[in-house]
Structure formats: C-alpha cells, structure tokens
Amino acid sequence: MASPHSPDIRFLRICFLLPICLFILFPPRPVLSQCKKLPVIFNFGDSNSDTGGLVAGLGFPVNLPNGRTFFGRSTGRVADGRLLIDLLCQSLNASFLGPYLDSLGSKFTNGANFAVVGSSTLPKYVPFALHIQVMQFLHFKARTLELFSAGSGHLINDEGFRNALYMIDIGQNDLADSFAKNLSYAQVIRRIPTVIMEIKNAVQAIYDQGGRKFWIHNTGPLGCLPQKLSLVQKKDLDPHGCLSSYNAAAVLFNEGLRHLCQEMRSGLKDATIVYVDIYAIKYDLIANSTKYGFSSPLMACCGYGGPPYNYNIRVTCGQPGYQACNDGSQFISWDGIHYTEAANTIIASKILSMAYSTPRIAFDFFCH
C-alpha cells in the first residue's frame, strides 16, 4: 500500500482539491441567455420590483439620491440603482420593463410592469392590490390584441402573450401591514392563507387567459429590514440581529406559497411554475455579509439617525435632512426597506444560478 506521503497519493489529493479551490476562487458565472425570440415579461408586485409605477400612477415624487448609482437620476425606482427585475431583464439582453401606468417612454413591446410601491394582496379592491394589477393586465391584453388586429405594428400578438413569462413578487407588505396594525403573531399567521389564495387567484386568472409560464418569488426576511428593527420597541432578535417573529411569519408565508406552487403544477395543465427562494438568498447575504464584502448589514445607506440602523420614519431617504453614505456598495440596505444595487446584483446572480429555483430551470426557459 502506498504511503499517505508518497508522490502518487499527494498528486491524487491535489487533483481532488484543485476543482474545489477553483470553485471557491472562481465561482461559476450564470450562462448567458439562449433566448431565440424577443423575451416578453409581465411583472406583478410591490416596491421591490416597481420601475416607476408609483410616480406614473400618482405623481408621487421619488427624489435623488434614488437612482444615483446606475441611472444618475431618479427613475421612480426606490433604490440607488437597478432593481432585481432590471438585472434579470438584462440577463436576457432585454430592455427594462416600463411601468404599465406610464403613458410616455414605452411601447411595451417586451411586456409591462404592473408593480407599484406599497402594493399588497389585501385589501383586494384598492389601488394597487394584486387583484387590480391582474385586472389591468387583462385590459392591457385585450386592448393590445385589438390594436394588433387593426394593423398596428410592433405590438405583442397572441403568441407573445402565450409565450410570455409572468412574474409575481408580492406578500411582503401584507405581512408588514399586519404587524404594523399591532396584530398578535397568531393573528398575523391566520391572515396568511387568504394572502396565498389571492396569489392563486392571480395565477389562475392569467392561466385562463393563456399564460403558461410563471416565475414566483417568495418574500424576504422581513425582520432584517432596518425600518422594522427601528420601529419595533420590544425586539426578539435572532443571532444575526433580526426580528425572530417577523422572520418566522415570512417563513410560514413562504412555506404556504411553496405548497401552492406545488399544487398548481399538478392542477394547471401544461403550466411551468417556478418557485424562487428569495428568503434564503437574502438571509444568507445578511448572515454572511462580510463574505460578500458588506459592512453593517442591518444599517441603511440612506436615512437619518446613524448606527445601528440609520432609519428615522420622520426623515426618510430623499426627504429634507436625510444623510446618504458615500459608497452604497458597502451596504445591503439602501433606505431601510429596499436593497442596494450591489446587493441586488448578488441576489440576481444567485437566482440565475438556478440553485434557489424549484424546479431548477434557467430563467430564460420561456423564450427558447
């Protein structure tokens, strides 16, 4: 038997360890999009994916320093730069999604974004609840096909709607609003099935209109947001400084959403429904912040009040008196609620790796 110190054994050890070392030093990059046709995407959600709907719909100002990192100006996004949805669109070499409510600047040839800041699933009939966003989509589709039939060019046709990707990223505000109303943890949990049902209804309505490809994000670790940490008086903190009860509610919501996606895969014929674990990605970012190059993972870059959270509800980012960090790339949180472009870039990379998707298929599956 060869000695463990023999040249042959040492060589075999090097051969075994080399790929592991290379993986750590040079992690695999997401495969470039293989889209063979124009990607068409319709998005439904809240401020995590609002590309200007609040400004277009209500005229509500979203001032600098929002937009400073990538755009150099405010674009209606509540972030310093690109949102996760922007980065996912860029992975397909597609244009950014224009907000449905914006009458200028977009011809909606690659889809539309129905997400608006503050949106939730409940109450059901208020702007801009998920139910209303879906109704807006149904109107958009009917009007688009009508104009296409009348000879208007460069519009999405029936095949385009059928092959489009339908993204849903909502639920965070339902949980946050419940806690803000001083409901007990048990009361918050009891509301979750109703929220899940509204998401199911949205998918069913789109499916009934011919949609077959769905991409559904679960909700992130609500209890790690600097805003929540700042506002809650009695803090039940986990080892990483996040609110345990808030995150526990998010985990239960995500479990219900995961079961819903599993159920719909069986019940909706020919549908592809991808469930994406955003919670795991974002919590890992906070728990291992130094590994990713971030400092003060629970502190907002733009806000007021300094450590530990730099959040004051009376002086929020962009309002008179706010203070912004010089380098947003060192921060996970932009304004206490939303993530920085630097954080979103890592989140997008992890999504594109397919490691957090069920089933594990590439983001560009819908446009092959």
Residue 13 has pLDDT above 60, yes or no: no
With b for 16 or more beta-carbon neighbours within 10 A and e for fewer, the 14-35 pattern comes to eeeeeeeeeeeeeeeebeebeb
pLDDT of residue 32: 57
pLDDT of residue 154: 86
pLDDT above 70 coverage of the chain, percent:
91
Lowest-confidence pick of 17-21, 140-144, 318-322, 347-351: 17-21
Give the model's confidence band at 36: pLDDT under 50 very low, under 70 low, under 90 confident, else very high.
confident
- Listed by start position, the domains of the chain span 31-290
Structure tokens at 333: 């949180």
Taking residue 79's Cβ as centre, other Cβ atoms within 10 Å add up to 31
- E strand spans, 163-251: 165-169, 213-217
Choose between 65 and 17: higher pLDDT. 65
Residue range 161-170, pLDDT digits in tens: 999 999 999 9
- Active-site residue, from 335, 353, 357, 364: 335
Residue range 167-186, pLDDT digits in tens: 999 999 999 999 999 999 99
Q: With contact defined as beta carbons under 8 Å apart, do 129 and 122 qualify?
A: yes
| pTM of the shown model | 0.90
5 is catalytic: no
Residue range 228-256, pLDDT digits in tens: 999 999 899 999 999 999 999 999 999 99
pLDDT above 90 coverage of the chain, percent:
86
Give Cα 135 to chain centroid, integer Å.
21
335 is catalytic: yes
Residue range 254-281, pLDDT digits in tens: 999 999 999 999 999 999 999 999 999 9
Residue range 192-219, pLDDT digits in tens: 999 999 999 999 999 999 999 999 999 9
Residue 304 has pLDDT above 80, yes or no: yes
Give the model's confidence band at 33: pLDDT under 50 very low, under 70 low, under 90 confident, else very high.
low
pLDDT of residue 368: 83
- Active-site residue, from 47, 74, 289, 353: 47
Residue 14 has pLDDT above 50, yes or no: no
102 is catalytic: no
Q: Which fold has domain 31-290?
A: Rossmann fold (3.40.50)
pLDDT of residue 21: 38
Burial of residue 44, with CB atoms counted within 10 A of its CB: 0-12 exposed, 13-18 middle, 19 or more buried: buried
Rounded CA-CA distance 365/270 in Å is: 14
CA angle 182/78/326 to nearest 5° reads: 110
Residue 30 has pLDDT above 80, yes or no: no
- Active-site residue, from 102, 178, 338, 353: 338
